[in-house]
Homo-oligomer: A and B are copies of this chain.
Amino acid sequence: MVIDATAPTPRRRTAAPIVRSRPLHEEVVDRLRDMIIEGDIPVGERLHENNLAETLNVSRTPLREALKLLANEGLVDLLPGRGARVSALSAEKVGELFEVVSGIERLAAELAATRMTARDLERLKRMHDKMAAHFAAGERHEYFALNHQIHVAIVVAAKNETLASTHAALMVKARRGRYTALASEERWKEAMAEHEALMEALARRDAKRAGDILFEHDRRTAETTKEMLEKTKRAG
C-alpha cells in the first residue's frame, strides 16, 4: 500500500506520543486472546497479518510479536510461512487440560490448608456462602462466576506464585468455548456438596482431605464436561 499524500492514512500512528504505559504488543495479545476466548474469532480462522493489523490499528510488527506469544500459549497455531490460525481445541485436549488442572488444584488445596491466613479463610467462606445462595436461587451464571473465583482464590491462598501463574495459563485455555456447564441438576447439587466438604476440610486445615476432595471434584467436573462435549459433537 502506497501512502497517498492527498489522503493521509489515519493509521499512521507515529505522530501520537508514545505515552503508552503498556507496550503495544501486550495490548494486542490481550485483545486477541479475549477475542479468541470469547469466540469472536472462530476456530480455524486464518489470521492475516495485514488485515488484522489494520483492524486493530497497529502495524504488523507488534501484531507479529503478539501472534508469537499467543502461539506459545497455544491459542493459535503458527504454520511456518503460511500464517497463523486459531487453534482447534479438541475434546481430548480439553480432557488433558482438566486433568492437569486437577493436579494443580489438589496441590493448591493442600498448601492452602496449611498456609492460608485467617483472612484468606474468611474471604473463602464469604465467597462460598454467596455461591451457595446463588445455588439455592438457581442462578447458574452467578454460580459459575463465583465458582471460578473460589478455585482461583484457593490457588492464590497456596502462596506460590508459580503455581498460580501455571494455573492461570491452563485456565485460559480451559475456559475457551465456555466449557463451564453442569450437565444436570443432579451434578450441580453434587458439586455444591463437594464445595461444602472442601470448605469444611480447609477450615479444619486438613491438607490431605482438602486436596483429595478438590481433586475428586475436578475429576468429576472433567468427566461431566467431556460427556457434554461429546454429546455436543455428536449433535453438531
Contact = CB atoms under 8 A, between A and B. Distances in A.
Interface of A: 21-23, 25, 61, 64-65, 68-69, 72-73, 78, 80, 93, 96-97, 99-100, 102-104, 106-107, 111, 160-163, 166, 170
B65 A100 contact: no
Given A21-B80, A64-B65, A96-B163, 14 more contacts: A22-B80, A23-B78, A23-B80, A65-B65, A69-B69, A69-B72, A72-B72, A93-B162, A96-B160, A99-B162, A100-B104, A100-B107, A102-B107, A103-B163
Interface SS, A side: helix
Nearest first, the 3 A-B pairs at minimum CB distance are A103-B107, A96-B162, A96-B160
A55 to B, nearest CB: 21
A96 B64 contact: no
Contacts of A106: 103, 107
A170 B69 CA distance: 17
